[in-house]
Amino acid sequence: MKRRIAAALAALLIFVPAAAAGLRLGVKGGYALGLDASRSGAFAFGIDVELDIASNLRLSLGFQRSEGAMAASARGLSAGNLAVIPIEAGLELRFPFGRLPLTAVAGLSGGFGLASFAYDATAASAWDAVGFTVAETVRGALCAGAMVGLEYALTPTSSLLLEARYRLMRSTGTWSMTDRRGGLSTSGTIDALNFDTLTLGLAVRIGL
């Protein structure tokens, strides 16, 4: 038993430095274009933790946040503000350009997207003035993405990445309206909300 424990500890001591040598932190920012006509584009930012598992293969885990205006849609949400935070694991393939400090990258990712919606304050005030309370909410949903990019090596352990990322995310929501004077309330569901985005961004990757 003692020998097995010693062997396990020795393997751990060997593995940890090797893993740490390929560990990176990525900080990214860009612009997320809403692919549904009712959703405006918005600034996006995020953080990734990345681990090299082979010379041309990398794992990542991270999130991205974007928040922007929604225009009223007959089949979707009313006017307001939508925030979306996808949390995803990803796999990235890397294709170096020989001895040049450039690497083409392509990857796939998947995870779960958090979402929140704030009803337009002006519209809510107008309803409130005539005795009605209105509300709309959105649910989080599974999401998946694909990306391509070009990375420039600044040092052996740090780089800049220019990327384009498409993310698929479809969700649902609820709405309610309450007449405070009469005490009547009605509610329903909002189906097939399209939160797809195309994000163009720049990331700084730093070795840890």
Residue 7 has pLDDT above 70, yes or no: no
Residue with tokens 């922007």: 68
Is pTM beyond 0.95? Reply is no
- At 114, which amino acid appears? L
Whether 189 and 173 have beta carbons less than 8 Å apart is answered as yes
Q: Of 82, 79, 54, which Cα lies nearest the Cα of 141?
A: 82
Instruction: For residue 159, give every residue at least 6 positions away whose Cβ sits within 8 Å of its Cβ, in sequence order, or none.
Output: 103, 151, 152, 153, 204, 205
Q: What is the CATH number of domain 23-207?
A: 2.40.160.20
Reduced to 3 states (helix: H, G, I; strand: E, B; else coil), residue 74 is coil
Instruction: For residue 152, give every residue at least 6 positions away whose Cβ sits within 8 Å of its Cβ, in sequence order, or none.
Output: 101, 102, 159, 160, 161, 162
Structure-model confidence comparison of residues 56 and 11, the more confident one: 56
Residue 12 has pLDDT above 50, yes or no: no
Please provide the average confidence, as pLDDT, over all residues in the chain.
89
> Cα dihedral sign for 36, 38, 43, 48?
negative
Give the percent of the chain with pLDDT over 70. 90
